[in-house]
Chain A
Amino acid sequence: MDRVKLTINGKEVEAPAGSTILQAAEMAGIEIPRLCYDPHLSSLGACRLCVVEVKGNRLLPASCVTPVTNGMEVETETDAVVQARKTILELLVANHPLDCMTCDKMGACKLADYCYKYEVKDSPFVGERHHYPLDDSNPFIIRDMNKCILCGACVRACEEMTGQDNLSYLYRGFDRKATTAADVPYIESDCVFCGQCVAVCPTGALVEKSMSGKARRWDIDRVRTTCPFCGTGCNFDLAVKDGKVIGVLSTPEAPVNGQMLCVKGRFGWDFIYNEKRLTAPLIKKNGQFVEASWDEAYDLIAEKFNAIRDQYGPDSFAALSSARCTNEENYLVQKLTRAHMGSNNVDHCART
Chain B
Amino acid sequence: MAGLATTFGSGAMTNPIYEITEEAELMLLIGTNATEAHPIIGYKMRQAARNGAKMIVCDPRRIDLVDEADYWLQIKPGTDIPLLNGLMHIIIKEGLEDKQFIAERTENYEELKAVVENYPPEKVSEMTGVSVEDLYAVARLYATTDKAMIFYTLGITEHICGTRNVMSIANLAMLTGHLGRPGTGVCPMRGQNNVQGACDMGALPNVYPGYQAVTNPDIQQKFEKAWGKELPNKVGLKIPEMFEAAHEGKVKAMYILGENPVLTDPNANHIKAALEHLDFLVVQELFLTETAEFADVVLPAASFAECNGTFTNTERRVQRVRQAIEPIPGQPNWITICQMATRMGYPMSYEHPSEIWDEMSSLAPSMAGVNYDRLEKSSLQWPCPTVEHPGTPFLHSGKFTRGLGLFQPADHVPPAEMPDKEYPFLLSTGRILYHYNVTTPYSPGIASVWDKELAEFHPLDAEKLGLKEDSKVKITSRRGEVISAVKITERVQPGMIWMSFHYAETPTNELTSDGLDPITGTGEYKVAAVKVEKL
Instruction: Given A229-B436, A240-B324, answer yes or no on A340-B39 (Cβ-Cβ < 8 Å).
Output: no
A223 vs B307: C-alpha distance when bound (angstroms): 12
Q: Give the segment of B52-60, B95-103, B173-181, B442-450 that binds chain A.
A: B442-450
Given A320-B255, A347-B236, A326 and B202 contact (CB-CB distance below 8 Å)? no
- The A contact surface, by secondary structure, is mixed
Which chain A residue shows the least CB distance to B346?
A340
| Nearest 5 Cβ contacts at the A-B interface | A233-B313, A326-B309, A344-B236, A231-B190, A322-B258
> Does chain B have a CB within 8 A of A83?
no
Interface-side segment among A53-61, A106-114, A143-151, A305-313: A305-313
Digitize A250-263: 1 where CB-to-B-CB distance is under 8 Å, 0 elsewhere.
00000111001111
B191 cross-chain contacts in A, Cβ below 8 A: 230-231, 323, 352
A322 lies within 8 A of B198 (CB): yes
User: Judging by beta carbons under 8 Å apart, are A345 and B285 in contact?
Assistant: no
Contact in complex: A339, B227 (CB < 8 Å): yes
| Alpha-carbon separation in the docked complex, A335 to B201 (Å) | 10
Q: B211 at the A/B interface (Cβ < 8 Å)?
A: no
> In the complex, how many angstroms separate the beta carbon of B285 from the nearest chain A beta carbon?
7
- Name A304's contact: one of B17, B296, B325 (CB within 8 Å): B296
A347 touches B311 (CB 8 A): no
The CA-CA distance from A238 to B320 in the complex, in Å, is 13
Please measure, in the bound complex, the distance between the C-alpha atom of A169 and the C-alpha atom of B169, giving whole angstroms.
44
Give per-residue flags for A268-303: 1 if the beta carbon is below 8 A from chain B beta carbons, else 0: 111110101111111110000100101001111110
Name A301's contact: one of B197, B344, B525 (CB within 8 Å): B344
Do A263 and B252 form a contact, CB below 8 Å, given A331-B209, A344-B205? no
The answer to whether A326 and B311 touch across the interface, beta carbons within 8 angstroms, is: yes
For residues 172 through 212 of chain B, which have their beta carbon under 8 Å from a beta carbon of chain A?
A: 189-206, 208-209
Stretch in A26-34, A89-97, A116-124, A157-165 touching the partner: A157-165
Bound-state CA distance A304–B281 (Å) is: 9
> Bound complex: CA of A352 vs CA of B357, how far in Å?
26
Closest B residue by C-beta to A325: B258
Verify B379–A228 contact, CB threshold 8 A: no
User: Which residues of the partner chain A approach B322 to less than 8 Å between Cβ atoms?
Assistant: 223-225
Contacting residues, chain A, for B533 (C-beta < 8 A): none
* Nearest Cβ on chain B to A152's Cβ, whole angstroms: 18
Which residue of chain A lies nearest to B355 when distances are taken between CB atoms in the complex?
A328
Contact assessment for B251 and A278 in the assembled complex, using a CB-CB cutoff below 8 Å: no
Task: Using known A-B contacts A270-B445, A330-B201, determine if residue A301 contacts B334 with beta carbons closer than 8 Å.
Answer: no
| B299 touches which of A139, A243, A264, A297 (Cβ 8 Å) | A297
Interfacial chain A residues near B304, Cβ < 8 Å: 225-226, 228
Whole-angstrom distance from the CB of B193 to the nearest CB of chain A? 5
Residue of B nearest to A304 (CB): B280
How does the 8 Å CB contact mask read for B239-267 relative to A, with 1 for contact and 0 for none?
10010011000111111111101001100
Rounded to whole Å, the gap between the CB of A24 and the closest CB of chain B is: 23
Q: B264, A260: Cβ atoms under 8 Å?
A: no
- A160, A228, A342, A349: the one contacting B439 at CB < 8 Å is A228
A248 CB → nearest B CB, Å: 10
Tell me which of B68, B195, B303, B379 contacts A272 (CB under 8 A): B303
B198 touches A300 (CB 8 A): no
Q: How far is the CA of A345 from the CA of B256 in the complex (A)?
A: 12
**Chain A residues near B (Cβ < 8 Å):** 138-140, 160-163, 187, 192-194, 210, 221, 223-235, 238, 240, 243-245, 255-257, 260-264, 267-272, 274, 276-284, 289, 292, 294, 297-302, 304-306, 308-309, 312, 314-340, 342-352
Are the C-beta atoms of B433 and A230 separated by less than 8 Å? no
**Smallest Cβ-Cβ distance to B344: which chain A residue:** A302
Q: Are A334 and B193 in contact (CB under 8 A)?
A: no
In the complex, whether B137 has a CB less than 8 A from a CB of chain A is no
Q: Are A226 and B319 in contact (CB under 8 A)?
A: yes
- Write out, one digit per residue, whether chain B residues 372-409 have a CB within 8 A of any chain A CB (1) or not (0): 00000011000000000000000000000000000000
The answer to whether B360 and A331 touch across the interface, beta carbons within 8 angstroms, is yes
**Shortest distance in angstroms between B25's beta carbon and chain A's nearest beta carbon?**
19
A-B contact pairs, 23 of them (CB 8 A): A192-B39, A193-B434, A230-B191, A231-B192, A231-B196, A231-B314, A232-B189, A233-B317, A264-B433, A274-B442, A278-B300, A292-B297, A308-B279, A308-B280, A326-B194, A326-B309, A326-B333, A327-B197, A330-B194, A339-B228, A340-B345, A347-B242, A352-B191
Tell me, in angstroms, the Cα distance from A234 to B315 when the chains sit together. 12
Residue in A closest to B45 when the chains form the complex, CB atoms = A163
Are B232 and A343 closer than 8 Å at their CB atoms?
A: yes
Residue B230, interface by CB 8 Å: yes
CA distance A272 to B300 in the complex (A): 13
Looking at the complex, which one of A140, A163, A224 makes contact with B43 (CB distance below 8 Å)? Answer: A163
